[in-house]
A and B are shown apart, each in its own frame.
Chain A
């Protein structure tokens, strides 16, 4: 390994360690984990109550919704955390101080990228341990599909973090990064929601006048689906539940490619906008 490469690896490792330490020292990760476990407890309580009252309940896996919710929450948290940590460093001017030293734009962002991914994995491991304990207590089983969701979420998180880093490098302030990231996520959710509602309304009430609008939103949603890490997670989960591993693999590879492309865009944006306060 050349000395330049060794220096770069060292810098990536240091930024990564600093990022992991920063995320673990802040309450955000623990709050997200607690919310995920609270959702799980609530879902399981309702399932058990239904069973106790004698109603027939057909659920393929009671842990499916909690896992999906936790993966989504966790991925959103790490993406936001990545965006804010870069924005904060720029606002404080410490980003400039770092770039006085032996680090490149890509090295810095790779460090942040990996750090937040590791934090996501740690959250997922802790959450899974909690679910296994709950499964043992309640005798509600965890299905094979959950393994697929966890595996997919680990890759989709990279797409989320990449998107967060793009928001952080495009905007020059922490507030701007936050607003851009939230705006992107909200736009994705709004388009998907509008498409779903229009589809239901038009089909149910035969409102023919709304058909052009429905079609336009449908097309927009098809486009947004490609840009939305949320849809990668939902569609991949659907494939995992159907045990269609080939389709699951496509979503996993797509998410990985998404994350890497976002990392490339963030690097180019950081290079163009500079590291100065």
Chain B
């Protein structure tokens, strides 16, 4: 594949940059002055609850929807002025697979390989089908594929021409655990090859594992854009510690609850789960247990997750808007996982 196709020549140019991107439908703002940047060679997770404006943003990035205001730059070129050559550098896996159902998997990939002028297309198509465990189904019509197989075929189409930018909408939705691992490995490989990956997903644990940076959109506004660690750090405080005792100690939870920066989240007798505001309080907890005559046989420390940060962020915004209560927001966020 040539350099111009892989986009190696523009190593420092942001593959995606939006400037005050806005979309209104019938006077209702669905995407509101979004400024996001995807850097070269990174996996960017684009998160948001249902109806937050993720798919609308993606469609504007692809030029399928015209923004009401603002603009999109891909590889430093204004999307409105970009020719089809630029599109050859982008691979897209949409929300739905949208396959030609009368074509076999191999015919489908071959058609798009010709479309994207992929060199040695026969071997490339076979290689991708084998890679995604679709080899034995190469001659099966797409309409006979399961949902997961259709998603994989759609992903194969997206990476067929070694694009410099991959835009994926819910790439692991409908996949079994093996499929999820395959997608993860494929994305890691693409990143290693210098490709920028823009992933919109509801599966936050997966985004947390793969993404370098995330952007959180809510009610059309980009609330935050940063590395996963910093987003989690900014939005959640402290640690969750599960204490396993040799035997239950009566009154211990009361003593622990009186310690500064400590909150009991669960008490199951031998196992007590605490939330600590800061790292140094762990030793204080340990001393408190010993003073009460308890013996700690195990201590598990768990960091806050992106999922929790996401819930805090979106819940906070919902509350600020005064539209729903905290429980509603939690239920909504957990439903979307």
Which residues of A73-115 are within 8 A (CB) of B? 92-94, 96-104, 107
CB proximity of B265 to chain A, nearest CB, Å: 46
Are B111 and A101 interface neighbours, CB within 8 A? no
Q: How many residues of A contact B (CB 8 A)?
A: 25
CB < 8 Å: which of B84, B94, B99, B111 contacts A103? B84
A275 interfacial by beta-carbon distance below 8 Å:
yes
In the complex the two chains form, what is the Cα distance from A8 to B115 in whole Å? 10
Q: Which residues in B have their C-beta under 8 angstroms from that of A93?
A: 94, 96, 98
Are A94 and B98 interface neighbours, CB within 8 A? yes
CB proximity of A183 to chain B, nearest CB, Å: 29
Are A96 and B64 interface neighbours, CB within 8 A? yes
B85 interfacial by beta-carbon distance below 8 Å:
yes
- What 1/0 flags go to B82-95 for Cβ under 8 Å of A? 01110110111010
A57 interfacial by beta-carbon distance below 8 Å:
no
Which residues of A97-150 are within 8 A (CB) of B? 97-104, 107
Are A107 and B84 interface neighbours, CB within 8 A? yes
CB proximity of A102 to chain B, nearest CB, Å: 4
Are B100 and A92 interface neighbours, CB within 8 A? yes
Are B114 and A100 interface neighbours, CB within 8 A? no
Are B83 and A7 interface neighbours, CB within 8 A? yes
CB proximity of A275 to chain B, nearest CB, Å: 6
Are B62 and A104 interface neighbours, CB within 8 A? no
In the complex the two chains form, what is the Cα distance from A18 to B87 in whole Å? 20
B144 interfacial by beta-carbon distance below 8 Å:
no
Q: Which residues in A have their C-beta under 8 angstroms from that of B90?
A: 100
Q: Which residues in B have their C-beta under 8 angstroms from that of A151?
A: none
Q: Which residues in B have their C-beta under 8 angstroms from that of A14?
A: 111, 114-115
CB < 8 Å: which of B64, B96, B99, B114 contacts A99? B64
Q: Which of B63, B65, B98: most chain A CB closer than 10 A?
A: B98
CB < 8 Å: which of B88, B96, B99 contacts A7? B88
- What 1/0 flags go to A1-43 for Cβ under 8 Å of B? 0011001101100100010000000000000000000000000
Q: Known: A4-B85, A7-B84. Contact between A101 and B116, CB under 8 A?
A: yes
A193 interfacial by beta-carbon distance below 8 Å:
no
Are A275 and B117 interface neighbours, CB within 8 A? no
In the complex the two chains form, what is the Cα distance from A97 to B97 in whole Å? 8
A261 interfacial by beta-carbon distance below 8 Å:
no
Q: Known: A14-B115, A274-B64, A275-B64. Contact between A101 and B87, CB under 8 A?
A: yes
Are A10 and B94 interface neighbours, CB within 8 A? no
Q: Known: A102-B84, A107-B84, A276-B59. Contact between A11 and B94, CB under 8 A?
A: no
Q: Known: A92-B100, A100-B62, A276-B59. Contact between A7 and B85, CB under 8 A?
A: yes
CB < 8 Å: which of B84, B94, B101, B112 contacts A96? B94
Q: Which residues in B have their C-beta under 8 angstroms from that of A18?
A: 111
In the complex the two chains form, what is the Cα distance from A97 to B101 in whole Å? 13
Are B100 and A102 interface neighbours, CB within 8 A? no
CB < 8 Å: which of A4, A92, A274, A277 contacts B84? A4
Are A100 and B92 interface neighbours, CB within 8 A? yes
Q: Which residues in B have their C-beta under 8 angstroms from that of A4?
A: 83-85
In the complex the two chains form, what is the Cα distance from A79 to B140 in whole Å? 32
Q: Which residues in A have their C-beta under 8 angstroms from that of B96?
A: 93
Q: In the complex, which residue of chain B has the Cβ closest to the Cβ of A99?
A: B64
CB proximity of A124 to chain B, nearest CB, Å: 27
Q: Which residues in B have their C-beta under 8 angstroms from that of A10?
A: 117
Q: Which residues in B have their C-beta under 8 angstroms from that of A3?
A: 85
Q: Which residues in A have their C-beta under 8 angstroms from that of B117?
A: 7, 10
Q: In the complex, which residue of chain B has the Cβ closest to the Cβ of A7?
A: B84
Are A92 and B85 interface neighbours, CB within 8 A? no
Q: Which residues in A have their C-beta under 8 angstroms from that of B115?
A: 11, 14, 98, 101-103
In the complex the two chains form, what is the Cα distance from A7 to B114 in whole Å? 11
CB proximity of A172 to chain B, nearest CB, Å: 14
Which residues of B91-130 are within 8 A (CB) of A? 91-92, 94, 96, 98-101, 111-112, 114-117
Q: Which residues in B have their C-beta under 8 angstroms from that of A98?
A: 115
Q: Which residues in A have their C-beta under 8 angstroms from that of B114?
A: 14
Are B116 and A102 interface neighbours, CB within 8 A? yes
CB proximity of B30 to chain A, nearest CB, Å: 15
Are B88 and A102 interface neighbours, CB within 8 A? yes
In the complex the two chains form, what is the Cα distance from A104 to B90 in whole Å? 15
Q: Which residues in B have their C-beta under 8 angstroms from that of A275?
A: 64
Q: Which residues in A have their C-beta under 8 angstroms from that of B111?
A: 14, 18
Q: Which residues in A have their C-beta under 8 angstroms from that of B157?
A: 97
CB < 8 Å: which of A94, A104, A274 contacts B100? A94
In the complex the two chains form, what is the Cα distance from A19 to B312 in whole Å? 52
In the complex the two chains form, what is the Cα distance from A168 to B54 in whole Å? 29
Q: Which residues in B have their C-beta under 8 angstroms from that of A274?
A: 64-65
Q: Which residues in B have their C-beta under 8 angstroms from that of A94?
A: 98-100
Closest 5 CB pairs of A and B: A93-B98, A102-B84, A4-B83, A100-B92, A102-B87
Query: Can you offer 24 A-B residue contacts whose CB atoms are under 8 A?
Result: A3-B85, A8-B83, A8-B84, A10-B117, A14-B111, A14-B114, A14-B115, A93-B94, A93-B98, A94-B100, A97-B99, A100-B87, A101-B87, A101-B112, A101-B115, A102-B88, A104-B84, A107-B84, A274-B64, A275-B64, A276-B59, A276-B64, A276-B65, A277-B98
Chain A residues with a Cβ under 8 A of chain B:
3-4, 7-8, 10-11, 14, 18, 92-94, 96-104, 107, 274-277
